[in-house]
Amino acid sequence: MKLLKLVPDDTNIKFLRWRVPFYVVSILLIAASWGLVLTKGLNYGVDFAGGLNITATFTESTEAPVGDLRDTVSELGYGEPVVQRFGDDNQVSIRVPLPDSVEGNPEAAQNIANAIVAELEASFADFRLDGNENVSGKVSDEFRSDAAFALIAAMLAVALYIWIRFEWQFGVGALFALFHDVSLTLGMFSLFQLEFSLQIIAAILAIIGYSLNDTIVVYDRIRENLKKYRKMPTPELLDLSVNETLARTVMTSLTLLIALVPLLAFGPASLFGMVAAITLGIFVGTYSSVYMAAPILIWLGVDSHSFVPTETEADKQDKIARGEA
């Protein structure tokens, strides 16, 4: 049986020829992503925004009565609710801020949730409660700061590891590629106002791991080729290294997408944001390992001397003693 090969073994694609235009586009995308996050903000889930989150399905209707739901919950006097369709058209998520008086009092928060659910069941005959949860404002603040710290610490640890394993230029390149991937993911969530929850933090950490794996594979081949082809110009050597790892990169990404796309199309609505983040991460992580992590090595001065050990005075004396200098 002949093995399936999506990418020939002897590709010779000049990836680095377009490094400047791709860098310009990527920097503009990063700036646009952070512009969206700072101006439009993220649609924080109850984990980060605090309050009650009630999910429900209207079993006899094709569409949930969003306007009537908003009016009904508002009349209870617990604050202005955020009502959004969630998954199918007849499913909704209702977020209600918790008053300061119930801060640190889970029983009081649960009483409010019960009162809202009871009112909705009385007002809508086909209302079916799917779940409800509550998070205090203090806990949600801690979640936000802990999540930000986790992401920054993960990226810095990765950069430090690559610096130690390779050279400092490789650490900078990997850090920039990870910053690119995380920025574009945040930008997507801000643009489409997808719910940003603890699940999405887990997805971003998975993206960091995937992107790092791809980057290290390319970096390993670059290091080997730097030692092997000492006189080859750096852009040609980087192209050669990317081409030599291209089949592995494409097959890994394709295998992951085969698992993710059906889950994205037919999976439960509660997992949609997480799967969408990882799916985007597959694309941007693959792209950044080729067009972010590799070209930056040229501008950071990596060349054929980068992995040559520095000759000490003792080494020189040994050479002289052996008659080699």
Question: How do residues 295-308 score in pLDDT, each as one tens digit?
Answer: 888 888 887 666 65
Q: Tokens 């377009």 — which residue? A: 18
Strands (E), the chain: 43-44, 51-58, 82-86, 88-96, 127-135, 195-196
**Domain residue ranges of the chain, discontinuous segments joined by +:** 15-41+140-300, 51-135
- How far is the C-alpha of 314 from the C-alpha of 16, rounded, in Å? 40
Mean pLDDT (whole number) for 180-207: 89
Distance (Å, whole) CA 40 – CA 108? 33
pTM: 0.75
Contact 36, 187 (CB under 8 A): yes
pLDDT surpassing 80 at residue 322: no
Looking at residue 28, its pLDDT comes to 96
Q: Could you tell me which CATH class the domain 15-41+140-300 is placed in?
A: mainly alpha
Tell how strand 195-196 and strand 43-44 pair up.
Answer: parallel
CB burial of residue 210 (10 Å; 0-12, 13-18, 19+): buried
Task: Give Cα separations from 108 to 75, 92, 225 (angstroms).
Answer: 19, 24, 65
Q: How confident is the model at residue 3 (pLDDT cuts 50, 70, 90)?
A: low
The sign of the dihedral angle between the CA atoms of 38, 39, 42, 44 is positive
Dist CA 305 CA 320 (whole Å):
22
* 55, 91 contact by CB (below 8 A): yes
Copy the structure tokens of residue 187. 């930008």
204, HSE (Cβ side, Cα atoms, 13 Å): 27
Neighbour tally for 49: CB within 10 Å: 21
In percent, the amount of the chain with pLDDT more than 70 equals 89
Q: What is the mean predicted confidence (pLDDT) over 226-245? A: 87
CA 57 to CA 130: how far, in whole Å? 7
**CATH match for 51-135 among 1.10.1240.10, 3.30.465.10, 3.30.70.3400, 3.30.450.20:** 3.30.70.3400
Q: 5-49: per-residue pLDDT in tens? A: 667 777 888 888 888 999 999 999 999 999 999 999 888 877 777
Count CB neighbours of 56 within 10 A: 24
Alpha-carbon distance 186 to 280, whole Å? Answer: 11
Q: In angstroms, rounded to a whole number, what is the distance separating the alpha carbons of residues 187 and 144? A: 17
Q: How many CA atoms lie within 13 A of 5 on its CB side?
A: 10
